[in-house]
Amino acid sequence: IDSLQSFTIITGANMAGKSTFLRAVGVNLILAMAGSKVCASSFIFKPLKLYSSMRTADSLSENESYFYAELKRLEVLIQKLKKGDQLFVILDEILKGTNSKDKAEGSKKFVDQLVKFQLAGIIATHDLSLCSLAQNHPQKISNNYFDVEIINDELVFDYKLKEGVCSNMNAAYLMKKIIQKLFPYIKPFKNHVVWNIVYNILYALFGTLSFVTLIPMMKVLFDQTERVTVEPVYTGIGNLFKYLEQ
């Protein structure tokens, strides 16, 4: 952390270590600036103010949604930069409180504006389109990633930061594992009120995911079930469980 012209975009699968790495960098920067020991074999840094947006929360008392609270946090960041503050910025999956299209477009425009200021920072994201910004700002933005492999039907993480863009994602694999574990238990209750409760919980958790991604998963998981014809429309994972009721 020795330059105000350095911004790193980190991609990687779920549980690969992105957020943990961001927290480790932030904590070590604070320790270093306090003159304390750091958890690293070496640590080169420039004294900077630390600004993060990692654990934004909504608020009923303040009448703020998650997305609005996040926008306010990012607005404060821009205000500080406009005042001339020299910052090290840590951002974890920004704009995740909105739909995927707005998130992708908004994140690119936001980072594009950020690098016009004198700052250094790290942003972790699942949005691979954000990595294209390194082509527009090769002197300021770099891409790094944490990798994951599936070996013997198990996820294997090496927790090593590598140069480039992540090509292996594991969301579909994790959902497959969850459904495999849950379905034998909930199938006997498909006509019971418990089924409706489970359905609503699963829809709340996974309702924003594309059914197009889940069609192949359904065929793999439930090969013994009767085939159903579905339209590949953008809808929630909850519909998968509706079809499993048949």
| pLDDT tens digit sequence for 148-169 | 887 777 778 889 999 999 887 7
Whole-number pLDDT of residue 186: 58
Whole-number pLDDT of residue 60: 86
Residue 59, CA distances (Å) to 62, 75, 94, 244 in order:
5, 18, 18, 36
Whole-number pLDDT of residue 14: 81
Q: Which residues of the chain have pLDDT under 70?
A: 2, 170-246
pTM above 0.85, yes or no: no
Whole-number pLDDT of residue 238: 46
Structure tokens at 2: 């020795």
CA atoms within 13 A on the CB side of 38: 19
- What residue type is 124 in one-letter code? A
Q: Looking up tokens 């250094």, which residue turns up?
A: 120
pLDDT in tens, 27-63: 999 999 999 999 989 998 888 899 999 888 888 888 8
54 closest CA partner among 23, 15, 97 = 23
Residue 52, CA distances (Å) to 75, 88, 164 in order:
12, 8, 23
